[in-house]
Chain A
Amino acid sequence: MSLLEVEGLSAGYGPVQILRDIDLRVDEGEVVVVLGANGAGKTTTMRAVSGTIARRGTVRFDGQDISRSSPDGIVRLGIAQVPQGRGTFADLSVEDNLRIGAYTRRHDTDADIDRWYATFPRLAERRGQKAGSLSGGEQQMLAIARALMSRPRLLLCDEPSLGLAPLITKELFEIIERLNREEGLSVLLVEQNANLAVRVAHRVYLLETGSIVASGTAEEISADDGIRKAYLGF
């Protein structure tokens, strides 16, 4: 049984349908990357899984049907989302951002905060600053740390590389890879930046105008000439 199983998922905004009948799965301990261009439906996929928009189809998490669950119920089950554009609480301090990440839990918050300060030392240096004053890279780290504060089993990352310098993006993907390797955290990540993302992925899906058009292991995807030219650009 997969950790996350999505079957026949459709979603959109009002009358506009974006996702058409997509299937995907994330196994326990896997990093799965969904690649797609602008407007392919990457963010919609994330929102449909986290329950922040109306959706049709089945979404099962750990065997449980969550396709009718509310966003807060889904967080409590163990899915945390880092939204596109990072979604930090700009007016709150760095530390309060972490604290609010643990909203669904009531215990050991301080210990977890220290733990993520150790992983992201720059956040520790800026703990009293308002999150809105951090650089883009720092905000992205904060958004990930905040999501991890809910102790998720599955982390959803929506285009973490957006607007970041290449070096920072690289550092970020290394951290995601390390969390996966050392903590066994499962990750579903959507990206345009295919090169880096494919390197951390176990499996890859290609999303085009709301449908999954190809999928395979990271090796298979990088070996496919057509896909490599279209998505990886070499």
Chain B
Amino acid sequence: MDRFFQYLFDGLSVGAIYSLLALSIVVVFRGSGHLNFAQGEMAMFCAFVTWQLQDWGIPLWIATVLSMGFGFLMGAGSEYFLVRPVAKKSPYSVFVVTIALFLFLNSLASAIWGALPQEVMPSLFPDAPDDFLKLFGATWRYESIGVLVVALALMGLLFLLFSKTRFGLAMRGVASNPESSRLVGIRTSAILAASWGLAAALGALAGTLVAGRTGDVQPSLMFTFFVYAAAAATLGGLDSLVGAVISGLAIGVVENMAAGYAPGWIGQEMRLSVALLAIFVVLLSRPSGLFGSAKVERV
């Protein structure tokens, strides 16, 4: 049972980061119908920004918040200047634009910061070797608890934003029916840019959490996280916020259990495949994901 709780907890903690990034993907997809392949790279770039700000002497928490603000502007700017002009002409070209943005941000980060030395990124939480507590026989590192708590708290705020505020109502409206949204007086273009911004701000937090966990910031920081997050978003149904959160957590737990209980033949190398295989099986039986809304409309 000790091992069970260990894998469960480790899985939830890393899964919370998948969920955050999956939420970014879902927020963009719901708003504009596009998949932003650069979502992970935006998060990576923001992690560098956080590192840079704290390196200049700004306290890490403040640097993280500033980085999220930077992420918002980067996301909104990308939508407004890069995605929107081509989206009008062809939706497929958006795919190419986000791939280009992926490569661009990756090279730009390399060009500006190059390869930072290892172990330079401080964590938002105490992460000395003895910063943990023992519970149910498992080791609960403060770092992992912190990641889980911060990620879940932010998701809670996001849900309040969507369900309780005028801005959230407008975002849901634009996702549901853009044409009618304009007819009730919503400036849909502003809402779209804001949802890309919001998504990138969530990603900035995810990137900073990932970098703090590993201690390193590098251009490849978010590669695997993006794959897991995209998988979580798909599994959750792509348009469901709840689905993205639950799927992200579930993928984290499944991959940790699989790698932990079958170290011989799954181990560290194959864990990604196990998670993706599980998703494949689920999507075969539920094509619109676990929580996705099957589009049924009475006329």
Q: Are A103 and B186 in contact (CB under 8 A)?
A: yes
The docked-state distance in angstroms from the alpha carbon of A75 to that of B181 is 11
Q: A87-B177, A90-B177 are in contact. Are A104 and B185 (CB under 8 A)?
A: yes
CA A90 to CA B259, docked complex, whole Å: 42
Quick check: A146 and B297 within 8 Å, CB to CB? no
Over the window 55-91 of chain A, the binary record of Cβ atoms lying under 8 Å from chain B Cβ atoms (1 yes, 0 no) is 0000000000000001110011000110101011111
Distance in angstroms from B288 CB to nearest chain A CB is 13
When the two chains form their complex, are residues B179 and A92 in contact, meaning their CB atoms are under 8 A apart?
no
Closest to B163 in A: A96
**Nearest chain B CB to A168 CB, angstrom units:** 14
B112 at the binding interface (Cβ < 8 Å): no
Which residues of chain A are within 8 angstroms of B184 by Cβ–Cβ distance?
75, 80, 100-101, 103-104, 146, 150
The B interface, classified by DSSP as helix, strand, loop or mixed, is helix
Interface string of B177-196 (1 = CB under 8 A from A): 10111111111000000000
**In the complex, how many residue pairs between chain A and chain B have their CB atoms under 8 Å apart?**
79
**A52 and B169 form a contact (CB under 8 A):** no
Q: Is B34 an interface residue (CB 8 A)?
A: no
Total contacting residues, chain B, CB less than 8 A:
22
Interface segment out of the listed A5-13, A111-119, A130-138: A130-138
A45 to chain B, nearest CB (A): 15
The reply to whether the CB of B296 lies closer than 8 angstroms to some CB of chain A is: yes
| A residues adjacent to B (C-beta < 8 A) | 50, 52, 70-72, 75-76, 80-81, 83, 85, 87-92, 96, 99-101, 103-104, 106, 132-136, 139, 146-147, 150, 163
Q: List the 3 closest pairs (A to B, CB-CB), nearest first.
A: A75-B185, A104-B185, A87-B180
Complex A-B: 25 CB contacts under 8 Å: A50-B183, A71-B185, A72-B185, A83-B183, A87-B177, A87-B179, A87-B180, A87-B183, A88-B180, A89-B172, A89-B181, A92-B172, A92-B176, A99-B169, A100-B181, A103-B173, A104-B184, A106-B166, A132-B296, A132-B297, A135-B298, A146-B184, A147-B183, A150-B185, A163-B299
